[in-house]
A and B are shown apart, each in its own frame.
Chain A
Amino acid sequence: MCLAIQIPITKAAIGQNFESAFAPKQNFSTIDSITASRGIPYRFPMHQSRIVITGVGLTSPNGNSLEEYRKNLLDGVARIQMIDMRYMGPKGAIGQVPAGVCDFDPKKHQTRKELRVGTRAGSIAIFAAREAIASSGLDFENYDKSRIGVYVGTTEHGNVETENEVYNISKFDYDTKFWTHHHNPRTVANNPAGEITINTGITGPHYTIGAACAAGNAGLIQALQMLRLGEVDFALAGGVSESIQSFGIFAGFKSQGALGTHETDPNKVSRPFDKTRNGIVVSEGGCIYTLERLEDAQARGANIMAEIIGYRINSDASDYVLPNPERQAECMHQALAVAGIEAGEVDIVNTHATSTPMGDIQEMKAIAEVFGDCPTTYVNNTKSYIGHCMGAAGALELAGNLPSFQDNIIHPTINVEDLDPECALANLVINEPRKVDAVKVILNNSFGMLGINSALILKKFED
């Protein structure tokens, strides 16, 4: 039994709740006939459908494909750099901040005009989405694009564009007649997802899921739910972030005492669990998956990378920024209950830890509570390589671990020179990859401000 501390939520209770919530309603057949009569395909109930990942596209500070990214995670290659940032120097001058910057080629999938009109978040989203579609092997050109949904997690959106416009009109004595007409389409919350649809011709639903830094997981969960509801047959889902272009994000973390620094090496600023850690590295990035119902994926002979077997989002209901380990543990327990597995069956727990002094300890308390007695459950972290990719974090960090289903290697967290005893879990994989007999289950944590917690559980696909 791996539940070191019993949380008053049992698998049976969770199971009942979910069974009840997902029980077919009496009038389903009526709805079916109405929608069918209008010529709109409607498929349900799909609540019990198994949902699988069939493709992935990404850009992270240390890789623009899953292969490159994974290789760098196994080789210990971090890629953080110092960048110029408006107002972050003395007395409002340009200053330098550590950041994770992606170097994908935006012109691979966008015209120069699209790049000029759109946003960086949109560009990242389009690149990741296009790469994911290619990775999925779907005959995209001939696929019914009204049956594809786009669900993109974002921590925030619009800060960059509004800051840029305020800066722009500052050159014209703040005369708003110089404020761009592109501002509103750039700043609407659905922008990154909408740009994917414009670029690809997808006419199914699209929107973003605002979920602070749990957004990457939340995007995947939303897609899973929409597939199970039969709203779509194919989903693009994950998360993106353009946050490094916003001085406000950096200034906010600095004012909060949570902006990471290192005396000499940008690649060592993000050092979760190290005793000297002192804050976050803000990064940009994006990771989009293709999700399908198992039967659809199998019918087209797709390469199935993993199955999502459990998930949960819950709320701390306690503080704007300080995480709550009790609720985090509860979130993981509930996700395990949904998956119908014991904690000890999880092989990898990928932490959200952002390299802040308190946040890392809080999460480790939660993990110890859930997995403290699980000798074959290993714990790692990805932010030590790429910083905090904000809305993309959950999706990107999951991607870094998915290849473990094939190679049975667990990538380590790096930059731990002096392990903080308060973070010292026995199975924390530090500085060197660990080869294990088998990796069959991964639990991916992502947490965010206002106390939003998410846990996603993936299983190596077995028919």
Chain B
Amino acid sequence: MTEDQVQQIVIDIINEIAPDEDTTGLKPEVNLRDQMDLDSMDFLDIVMELRKQHGIEVPEEDYPELASLKSCSDYLTPKFNAK
């Protein structure tokens, strides 16, 4: 799985949990919270959907890795490819 594909998975989850947000044109290097109205419960939703939909576990200490699309793909791509 490529980093672009992983970023698209994260965007699909965000579209699901924050349906009012416009996810087109998100800048990969910029923190998601600086580009959208996401709160801590939303990040827990992202963690839950990664678990439910893809069997990917994100331990609490790694939550900062989900800050931006780029950090998400850096962190998650190896996990997806290790499945």
**Minimum C-beta distance from B74 to chain A (A):** 24
Asked if B18 contacts A180 (CB within 8 A), the reply is no
- Given contacts A177-B51, A178-B51, A178-B52, whether A113 and B20 have CB atoms under 8 Å apart is yes
- Determine the distance from Cα of A113 to Cα of B52 in the docked complex, in whole angstroms: 19
**Minimum C-beta distance from A174 to chain B (A):** 14
Asked if B48 contacts A180 (CB within 8 A), the reply is yes
The contact string, 1 if C-beta is below 8 Å from chain B, for chain A 121-144, is 000000000000000000000000
Asked if B41 contacts A182 (CB within 8 A), the reply is yes
- Determine the distance from Cα of A202 to Cα of B21 in the docked complex, in whole angstroms: 25
Q: Does A256 contact B (CB under 8 A)?
A: no
Contact of A178 among B44, B45, B48 (CB under 8 A): B48
Q: Does A300 contact B (CB under 8 A)?
A: no
Asked if B17 contacts A116 (CB within 8 A), the reply is yes
**Minimum C-beta distance from A1 to chain B (A):** 61
Q: Does A112 contact B (CB under 8 A)?
A: yes
Q: Which residues of A contact B21 (CB under 8 A)?
A: 113
Asked if A113 contacts B48 (CB within 8 A), the reply is no
**Minimum C-beta distance from B82 to chain A (A):** 19
Q: Does A111 contact B (CB under 8 A)?
A: yes
**Minimum C-beta distance from B17 to chain A (A):** 7
Q: In which size bucket is the chain A interface? A: 10 to 19
Asked if B41 contacts A117 (CB within 8 A), the reply is yes
**Minimum C-beta distance from B21 to chain A (A):** 8
- Determine the distance from Cα of A42 to Cα of B45 in the docked complex, in whole angstroms: 43
Determine chain B's interface SS by DSSP, over half rule: helix
Residues of chain B in range 27-44 having any CB-CB distance to chain A below 8 Å: 41, 44
Q: Does B25 contact A (CB under 8 A)?
A: no
Residues of chain A in range 115-171 having any CB-CB distance to chain B below 8 Å: 116-117
Asked if A111 contacts B51 (CB within 8 A), the reply is no
The contact string, 1 if C-beta is below 8 Å from chain A, for chain B 35-72, is 00000010011001001100000000000000000000
- Determine the distance from Cα of A181 to Cα of B48 in the docked complex, in whole angstroms: 9
Q: Which residues of B contact A172 (CB under 8 A)?
A: 52
Determine chain A's interface SS by DSSP, over half rule: helix
Contact of A181 among B18, B19, B20, B41 (CB under 8 A): B41
Contact of B19 among A113, A177, A180 (CB under 8 A): A113
Contact of A111 among B20, B44, B45 (CB under 8 A): B20
Residues of chain A in range 96-119 having any CB-CB distance to chain B below 8 Å: 111-113, 116-117
Residues of chain B in range 6-31 having any CB-CB distance to chain A below 8 Å: 17-21
- Given contacts A181-B41, A181-B44, A182-B41, whether A116 and B51 have CB atoms under 8 Å apart is no
Contact of B20 among A112, A178, A182 (CB under 8 A): A112
**Minimum C-beta distance from A109 to chain B (A):** 14
Residues of chain A in range 176-227 having any CB-CB distance to chain B below 8 Å: 177-178, 180-182
**Minimum C-beta distance from A170 to chain B (A):** 13
- Determine the distance from Cα of A180 to Cα of B19 in the docked complex, in whole angstroms: 18
Q: Which residues of B contact A117 (CB under 8 A)?
A: 41
**Minimum C-beta distance from A317 to chain B (A):** 43
Q: Which residues of A contact B41 (CB under 8 A)?
A: 117, 181-182
Q: Which residues of B contact A111 (CB under 8 A)?
A: 20
**Minimum C-beta distance from A362 to chain B (A):** 46
- Determine the distance from Cα of A177 to Cα of B59 in the docked complex, in whole angstroms: 12
- Determine the distance from Cα of A116 to Cα of B41 in the docked complex, in whole angstroms: 12
**Minimum C-beta distance from A168 to chain B (A):** 9
Residue ID in chain B nearest A179 by CB atoms: B48
- Determine the distance from Cα of A116 to Cα of B51 in the docked complex, in whole angstroms: 19
Q: Which residues of A contact B48 (CB under 8 A)?
A: 178, 180-181
- Determine the distance from Cα of A172 to Cα of B48 in the docked complex, in whole angstroms: 13
Contact of A113 among B18, B44, B51 (CB under 8 A): B18
Q: Which residues of A contact B51 (CB under 8 A)?
A: 177-178
Residue ID in chain B nearest A112 by CB atoms: B19
- Residue with the highest number of chain A CB atoms closer than 10 Å, among B17, B21, B44, B48: B48
Residue ID in chain B nearest A114 by CB atoms: B20
**Minimum C-beta distance from B15 to chain A (A):** 11
- Determine the distance from Cα of A113 to Cα of B48 in the docked complex, in whole angstroms: 16
Residue ID in chain B nearest A180 by CB atoms: B48
Q: Which residues of A contact B19 (CB under 8 A)?
A: 112-113, 116
Sample of 20 more A-B contacts, CB < 8 Å, known A111-B20, A113-B18: A112-B19, A112-B20, A113-B17, A113-B19, A113-B20, A113-B21, A116-B17, A116-B19, A117-B41, A172-B52, A177-B51, A178-B48, A178-B51, A178-B52, A180-B48, A181-B41, A181-B44, A181-B45, A181-B48, A182-B41
- Residues of A bordering B, CB below 8 Å: 111-113, 116-117, 172, 177-178, 180-182
Show 5 residue pairs from A and B whose CB-CB distance is below 8 angstroms, ordered by the A residue: A113-B21, A117-B41, A181-B41, A181-B44, A181-B48
Q: Nearest 9 A-B pairs (CB), nearest first?
A: A112-B19, A181-B44, A111-B20, A112-B20, A113-B20, A113-B18, A178-B52, A113-B19, A181-B41
